[in-house]
């Protein structure tokens, strides 16, 4: 059984705070790690696809790092805004040769308050 763990489970921060979340996954047979953002009443949307150890990706105020040898990824949000409020999911990608198979963590629910 593959375990993808995310912490913390939820987080309340003030506008302007910077924050980070953790995703841990098995360090063997790594293929890729995805980060998704899921706003209430919307579809999950991909933030990053990370494939190489040491990868660092950035999109605006959000960035992510990857350590495949120790099996973790961090997601950072700089200067949080209310519109960043969402659930952030990481997912470990298995490549089965017949379509990709994602195993998701339970997510980190972020609430940014004014």
Partner 1 sequence: ETGVTQTPRHLVMGMTNKKSLKCEQHLGHNAMYWYKQSAKKPLELMFVYNFKEQTENNSVPSRFSPECPNSSHLFLHLHTLQPEDSALYLCASSQSGTAGEQYFGPGTRLTVT
Q: Give the separation between CA 31 and CA 100, rounded to whole angstroms.
A: 10
Binding site for partner 1 (CB under 8 A): 4, 31-32, 34, 36, 42-46, 49, 51, 89, 91, 93, 95-107
Alpha helices for 1-114 (secondary structure H): none
Nearer to partner 1, 71 or 105 (CB): 105
The candidate with the shortest Cα–Cα distance to 33, out of 42, 15, 18, 21, is: 21
- The CB-of-55 to partner 1 minimum distance in angstroms stands at 11
Residue 89 or 110 having the CB closest to partner 1: 89
Task: Specify the residue, 41 or 114, whose C-beta has the smaller distance to partner 1.
Answer: 41
Q: How far is the CB of 44 from partner 1 (least distance, A)?
A: 5
- Residue 5 or 113 with smaller CB distance to partner 1: 5
Least spacing, CB of residue 94 vs partner 1, in Å = 9
The tokens describing 70, both together, are 């120790």
Q: Is the peptide bond before 87 cis (omega within 30 degrees of 0)?
A: no
SS3 of 18, please? coil
């Amino acid at each position: 059984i593959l375990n993808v763990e995310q912490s913390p489970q939820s987080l309340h921060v003030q506008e302007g705070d910077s924050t980070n979340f953790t995703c841990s996954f098995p360090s063997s047979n790594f293929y890729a790690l995805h980060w998704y953002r899921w706003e209430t009443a919307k579809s999950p949307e991909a933030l990053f696809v990370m494939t190489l150890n040491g990868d660092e990706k950035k999109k605006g105020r959000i960035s992510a790092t990857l350590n495949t040898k120790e099996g973790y990824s961090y997601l950072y949000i700089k200067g949080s805004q209310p519109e960043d409020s969402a659930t952030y999911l990481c997912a470990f990608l298995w490549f089965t040769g017949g379509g990709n198979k994602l195993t998701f963590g339970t997510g980190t629910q972020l609430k940014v308050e004014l």
